[in-house]
Amino acid sequence: MSHRADFPLLVRQPTLRYLDSAATAQKPAIVLDAVREFYETSYANPHRGAYALSGRATECYHDARSRVARFFGLRDAACLIFTRGTTESLNLVATAWGTHNIQRGDEIVVTRLEHHANFVPWQQLALARGAAFRIVELTPDGQVDLDHLRRVVTSRTKVVAVAHVSNALGTITPLAEIASVARAVGALVVVDGAQSAPHMAVDVDTLDIDFYAFSGHKMGAPTGIGGLIGRRAILETMSPYQMGGDMIELVGDDRTSWNVLPHKFEAGTPNVGGAVGLAAAAGYLTSIGMAEVRRHEQALTAVATERLASIPGVHVYGPDAAHRSGVVSFTVDGIHAHDLATILDQDGVCIRAGHHCAQPLLRRLGVGATARASFFVYNDRTDVDALVAGVRSAQALFHGAAA
């Protein structure tokens, strides 16, 4: 299964091998068409106009929320807050919930896998509030060490923040087990879903978590749209951290009251076009089937991991394909990751090189940077062939230069 023909950019550039979907995904035509149609037929500021066009924009926005909520198995669509993406969503929780609930002596727990967006906000909150910041380490194959988690989490733990899937290694974390440990001490469970939402079925109502953050652009939606899914009981107790626009119910001279969910957390003019595109992306993935998306990416990851690991001088990081998403991180002896990416780009192979906004993880791995290939629904085995051939060509080039 490859759906390359659904993506105009890839159709127009048939020799391009795009292997950087963990950073951002290409956009299917159905998403581009939906956004264009909205702006051409229904664009206005929602919620504020008494005229018909504003009413249509409002309907588009509400319909988009309902469709995205269904994609995530969320029955209460009002508990889906539209944000700019995962980073804003996680900062919203750390700010609006954290500053009012974390006290001196409390503990905040993250894992070594975390993207900076689910590491730094909690680190800084701990510093500001006088709380302890704890890091759960990994097993040798790059999975969360559950035994260490159980030792780290104590009765003073107030938050356990974890990536559902690591952007740097592709590791799929055992959310059920992690949530069980957190629940035993009454801790909040905050999940970075940026890398799981596009690649596997997520049913938030069956997950024992409190918050799930995601980004639309990694799902094939436009940039600048994403969401935070939270428990209603918690969201209703939280104060907004941005103010103005439709998030306000009544403004008095001395006091202001807030609108109901989800509007309380959506200050300013909303990104309706982005929400429409996000709903279209969710519909597109649903039409393929998330089980099929997972099966396809797992097969590609298994082949890529095996073939790269068989090349002398190549080191692949992370667990086996059964425990990872469509991400393969590796290094090549004697070739810096950035040099490798530059050489591959000359042949139209696009990979990511660097620390992947996961410096604490790479520091523990003992490397400054890795090369990262990541797959999505438009990739197939010819992309793996091009990647492997590019790595071998880079080795030949550098060995020849050394000689």
Residues belonging to the active site: 357
Residue 267 Rama label (left phi>0; alpha psi -120 to 50; beta):
beta
**For the chain, how big is the Rg over CA atoms in Å?**
22
Pairing of β 132-136 and β 107-111: parallel
What's at 261, amino acid-wise?
Answer: L
CB 277 within 8 A of CB 220: no
**183 Cβ contact list (under 8 Å, min separation 6):** 189, 208
What's at 115, amino acid-wise?
Answer: H
User: Locate tokens 């024992």: which residue?
Assistant: 208
Three-state SS at 117 = helix
Q: What tokens does 32 get?
A: 């581009």
Q: How many CB atoms lie within 10 A of CB 235?
A: 23
Angle at 107 between CA 122 and CA 86, to 5 degrees: 25
- H or E stretch at 213: strand 211-215
Of 124, 44, 78, residue with least CA distance to 265: 78
Sign of CA dihedral 284, 290, 296, 301: positive
DSSP 20: B
* Cα 108–chain centre separation: 21
